[in-house]
Each structure stands twice: as structure tokens, then as C-alpha cells.
A and B are shown apart, each in its own frame.
Chain A
């Protein structure tokens, strides 16, 4: 009798669970899909990533502890970075981003490791032939790019990931791809959350030969939207340089220095520094040399700070007209990143 009761109980429990399971299963599936669509639930984890997770995966399945696990794993990834083990590092970040897919930091950091650190490591591999080095570097750059984009797929409003993509492809020490960079900066700017990316879009246009007129109109548009952009020396100088483009339509009036800069001294300083940057970074120079000549005469600028007389690579000091401010040592090739501005 006892055995019969036991078997009967098991059978009833099994039937009860099966029937209730059949009722709730479609409801749960619908809820799960709804949560995933609304980004409440984490996206599906690929089989490959599950395999990589190992025991961490089990801990990762418990909500709440995922981000802490991701944080701990990111320490492990740091070890792989120190040992330049890029494959392992990527695997770590695959797991980290699966555990905490809505934390943009990990996508950003994973992309940065691949596109900057791993790519630079590849470039410096003297044991490889140049073509192998280039291929490897490009592969890492693309892997970093893919990482940023995957992050954006998970967190479409992480506009700074677009910004990082823009920085990557406009980086002149890497393998610049201006079209990609422009697209990325435009996307970052389109969120309207950070004026930095709106300006970077204009700055980049000023760096690409043939796109200067477009850059000018974009800069004017920004200025109309928010005149506070003028508080930035780079923006002032780039706007001025783009405005002095002789190929601008005649309908565009010539710029007035004091409409852009607060004083002629400031104009001289900003344009002087911008000229240095344009030599290094290929910014459009327009007719700023003419303006600098006129201002140098007008302001009685010491010869040390006239770029046509002394080929200095130093940034100009604030009180450049003071006699105390002579070049630290003559005509050296020291970097110009010095002083305030």
C-alpha cells in the first residue's frame, strides 16, 4: 500500500508539474522576450562564451552578483594585459561583457585594450616582417572596433562609445580612417548629450583635405546653436581658419577678429598655437599666416614668438609680449605641449 501511495504521489506530482509547466511556459517565454527587448534582461549568451565562463558562469547566473564577478574578472584581465596575452585578454573581456553586458565601461575598456594596446604591440613586433606586422595591427584595430560596436549594439545610448570609435579612427598614430571617424563622431554628436563630439566632428572635417568648406558650415551651425563654443581656444582658431578659406562662397562675409576672439592678443596666441598644431596634425590653415603677420606688427610681438622668424615648437605663453618670456632655449625640437591654455 505504501509503495502504491509513493508511486501514485510521484505520478501526480509529475502530472501536476507538467500541466502547470505547460500553462506557464508560453507566459514565461513571452515575459522573457519582453524583458530582453526592453533591456531589463541580459541578452542571450553564446555557447562559446558559456564554455569560456566555466565555473564563473554558474556564479554569473545568479543576479546581483554578476557585476561583482565581472569586476573580479577584470582584475584577471589586467594580468593578461600586463603579460601581453591578448588572446586570453579578449576571452576575459568576452566573459566580462557577458556577465555585465550593460556596463559600457567594459566594452570601452575591452575595445581600448585591443585597438590601442594590442595593436601597438603588434606594430612593435620587430621579429615579424612589415607586412605581417601591418596585418596584425589592422586585425587588432578591427577587433577593437568590433568591440566598441558590439557594446553599442547592447547599449545603443552609450554615445561615448561612438566617440571612442571616432577617436580611434582619427588617431594619426594609428591607421586613420577619416570616413569611419566622421561617421562615429556624427553618431556621438547626434545624441546631443556632449558638445565635445559635435566639436570633434568639426575639428576632424578641418583635418581632411577637401572637406574644409563643409567644416566651416558645420562650425557656423554649432556657433548658432550655442555661442559658448567660443570659450574654447581650439574652436575659435579652427573656426577662424575655416572662415578665412578663399574658396568659401562670396555670400559668406569675412570674419572679424574681435567677433571670434576677445582681444587681439588672444587671437595671436590662439592662432600661433593653432599653427603649431596644424603643422603636426594637418589642420586646415586658411589664411591665418596673413592674420598672424598683421597682428605681429600691430602688437609689436617679440621675434621669439613670430613663427616666420623663429621656428619654435613651444606653445606661446600668455604674456608673450613681456621681455621675460623668451624661448627657454633656442630652436630646440622640444614638444610644444607646454604652458597653459
Chain B
């Protein structure tokens, strides 16, 4: 009998250590430098009369704020999704290339710990990056809300509106400023980026090239944005009450089963920008769905990775 202590199936501590080293690894790759142009974009936009702020579509003060929120959320979504794909795709090949992987796996570290640690590391970096972008968005949005509110008060006062009416108008504008609902929108993008990272992790476990992993993950990201069309074709009747044909049904089923649905996350983010009623329960649903996706992709990644030879 061996005297070696038995290695547990999964250790959160071990996964945590690997996650921490992944964060260090990514930080050394200078990924946060990407935040500089985003900061410039968010802040710089306050000093330029971009047409979507000044155009007729922003004639209502709240529209102007909505445009700002949409632009910031859109940028955050693009950055977090791309970052999730590229960083995850680079991690395992990077570890193989600099031989870190052998050093880790020759120790009593189960491969599941390694994968979970890597994924958690990427998700942590995405979280920090989104937090910084979120702070930038809230600060610039707050500034813009105050400017718009002051302009509105001045205008309404000039055309003879009463104090109470002016206050109501300003309250309406303020409701489009920074709020908890807006944070739900950011969280939805974070969930989505986490799923994309898990998808990229799954692909990178069997892919032989980084380029393939990135290209496939981007494709899945794009298909995920329109996956709901295929699924809805299965659940609802066609536009003119026409049932989809057999081929459409088979294709729709395959797409719906295989690809994740990112439209739900987009919808929550869009709704948050419009200050729709999004509550904690909605976020719990989305969070649950995210956990389900990540769990499935991680288990599948582990299955492929468990007997991969290096």
C-alpha cells in the first residue's frame, strides 16, 4: 500500500491557487492595457457632440442617456466576449509551450482542478476589467445625467413650466442615470462572457491550434446571438402560421441543442439600458442558467482533457 495521501477528486483550494496564477499570467500579458482606449472612449465621448447625442433621436433627454448607456454596454460586451475567447484560447497552448502544464500535472493535481482553476482565473480577470469599465460608465453617465437634467430644468423653466413639473421632468431624467437595474445589465454581459470563456475552454481541450479555438469560439458567439431564432421556430408557428418543414425542424433542433442562447443575456442588458423592470429574480434565473452552461462545458472539457496525452 502506498503511504501517499489520496488526492481528492476536486479541491477548491487547488483550483483557487491555479486561478490566482492564471490571473498573474494574464496580467503579465498586459491585458488591462486594453482598458485605456475604453476609458478614453467613455470619457472622450463626453467632450464630443457625437451625432447620437446631438441628433434628433436624442431629442428627448432620456434618449440621450440611453444612447450613452447602450454605447458603454455595447463596448463592454464586445471587450468582455473577445477577451474571454482570446485569453482562454491562449491559456492551455501557452502552458504547453512554456511547459508549465507538465510541471502542474506531474504533481497530484487532478485535471479538473487545472481546468476549473484556469476558467476561474479568466473569469476573475474579466470581472475586474468589467468592474473598471462599469465604474467608468457610472461616472460618465452620472456626469451626463447631471448635465442633461440641468439643461432640462433651464429649458422647462424658460418656457414657463411650474416647479413641480420641472422636478418631475428631472426625476424622469434621473431614472435613466446610474441605477441598480443598469448594474444588472452589466452583470448579464459578465455572465455571457463567462459562458463564452467556458465554450472556448471546451474547444481548446481538443483543438490543436489556437487559431482554430478562436475562430470556432467566435463562430459560436455569433451563432449564440441568433440561436433563439432557431429555437423559436420549434416552439412557435411561422410568420404566416406556416409550420416549419422537416429539414428546418432538424436544423433548428441541432442548433438549439448544441449552441448556447446569448440573446437572453443581450435582452436583459438592452432592457437594463431602457430601465425596464428587471429584478433580482431575473438575475437569479440568468445566474442559474450561466452556472448550468459553465458546469456542462467544464464537465465536457474535463472529459476530453482527462485522457489527453501531451
Please report A residues at the B interface, Cβ cutoff 8 Å: 5-6, 9, 12-14, 16-18, 20-25, 27-29, 31-32, 35, 38-42, 44, 46-47, 58, 61-68, 70-71, 74-75, 102-103, 105-106, 109
Residues of A contacting B67 with CB < 8 Å? 67-68, 71
Also in contact, A46 and B239, with CB within 8 A (given A13-B304, A21-B258, A105-B63): yes
Contact of A63 among B222, B266, B282, B285 (CB under 8 A): B266
14 A-B pairs besides A17-B257, A31-B289, A32-B231 with CB distance below 8 A are A21-B256, A21-B258, A28-B228, A32-B261, A35-B268, A40-B270, A40-B277, A40-B278, A42-B270, A62-B74, A62-B77, A64-B77, A65-B78, A67-B66
Cβ of A62 and Cβ of B300 under 8 Å apart?
A: no
Also in contact, A40 and B276, with CB within 8 A (given A18-B258, A105-B57): yes
Measured CB to CB, the closest approach of chain B to A194, in angstroms, equals 11
Q: Which of A13, A44, A46, A103 has the most CB of B within 10 A?
A: A13
User: Which single residue of chain A is at the shortest CB-CB distance from B74?
Assistant: A64
Residues of B contacting A63 with CB < 8 Å? 73-74, 77, 265-267, 269-270
B118 at the interface (CB under 8 A from A): no
Residues of B contacting A75 with CB < 8 Å? 51, 55
Residues of B contacting A74 with CB < 8 Å? 55, 57
Cβ of A41 and Cβ of B270 under 8 Å apart?
A: yes
User: Which single residue of chain B is at the shortest CB-CB distance from A25?
Assistant: B256
- What are 21 pairs between A and B in contact, CB < 8 Å? A9-B206, A9-B304, A14-B258, A16-B300, A24-B293, A28-B231, A31-B264, A35-B264, A38-B277, A40-B270, A58-B222, A61-B263, A62-B78, A64-B189, A64-B270, A65-B74, A66-B70, A68-B70, A71-B57, A71-B67, A109-B56
Please report B residues at the A interface, Cβ cutoff 8 Å: 51-52, 55-57, 59-60, 63, 66-67, 70-71, 73-78, 189, 202, 206, 222, 225-226, 228, 231-232, 234-235, 239, 256-258, 261, 263-271, 273-274, 276-278, 282, 285, 289, 292-293, 296, 299-300, 303-304, 307
Cβ of A13 and Cβ of B263 under 8 Å apart?
A: no
What is the interface of chain A mostly: helix, strand, loop, or mixed? helix
Residues of A contacting B285 with CB < 8 Å? 31
A46 vs B239: C-alpha distance in the bound complex, in angstroms? Answer: 7
Measured CB to CB, the closest approach of chain A to B56, in angstroms, equals 7
Cβ of B70 and Cβ of A29 under 8 Å apart?
A: no
User: Which single residue of chain A is at the shortest CB-CB distance from B257?
Assistant: A21
What is the interface of chain B mostly: helix, strand, loop, or mixed? helix
Residues of A contacting B276 with CB < 8 Å? 38-40
Also in contact, A41 and B263, with CB within 8 A (given A18-B257, A47-B239, A71-B51): yes
A13 vs B304: C-alpha distance in the bound complex, in angstroms? Answer: 8
A21 vs B71: C-alpha distance in the bound complex, in angstroms? Answer: 32
Measured CB to CB, the closest approach of chain A to B213, in angstroms, equals 14
Residues of B contacting A14 with CB < 8 Å? 258
Cβ of A61 and Cβ of B226 under 8 Å apart?
A: yes
Interchain residue pairs A-B with the least CB separation, the first 10? A64-B74, A63-B266, A21-B257, A40-B271, A41-B267, A65-B74, A71-B52, A64-B73, A61-B225, A20-B296
User: Which single residue of chain A is at the shortest CB-CB distance from B238?
Assistant: A47
Contact of B56 among A22, A62, A105 (CB under 8 A): A105
User: Which single residue of chain B is at the shortest CB-CB distance from A44?
Assistant: B232
Contact of A29 among B73, B232, B258, B267 (CB under 8 A): B232
Cβ of A32 and Cβ of B222 under 8 Å apart?
A: no
Contact of A41 among B57, B60, B271, B307 (CB under 8 A): B271
Contact of A32 among B70, B71, B189, B263 (CB under 8 A): B263
Cβ of B267 and Cβ of A35 under 8 Å apart?
A: yes
Cβ of A13 and Cβ of B202 under 8 Å apart?
A: yes
Residues of A contacting B270 with CB < 8 Å? 40-42, 63-64, 66
Measured CB to CB, the closest approach of chain A to B240, in angstroms, equals 9
Residues of B contacting A68 with CB < 8 Å? 52, 67, 70-71, 74
Measured CB to CB, the closest approach of chain B to A89, in angstroms, equals 15
Residues of A contacting B256 with CB < 8 Å? 21, 25
Cβ of A71 and Cβ of B55 under 8 Å apart?
A: yes
User: Which single residue of chain A is at the shortest CB-CB distance from B69?
Assistant: A64
Measured CB to CB, the closest approach of chain B to A9, in angstroms, equals 5
A62 vs B60: C-alpha distance in the bound complex, in angstroms? Answer: 24
Contact of A103 among B57, B73, B264 (CB under 8 A): B57
Measured CB to CB, the closest approach of chain A to B172, in angstroms, equals 10
Also in contact, A29 and B263, with CB within 8 A (given A17-B258, A17-B296, A17-B300): no
Residues of A contacting B303 with CB < 8 Å? 9, 12-13, 16
Measured CB to CB, the closest approach of chain A to B155, in angstroms, equals 16
Cβ of A22 and Cβ of B261 under 8 Å apart?
A: no
Residues of A contacting B273 with CB < 8 Å? 64, 67
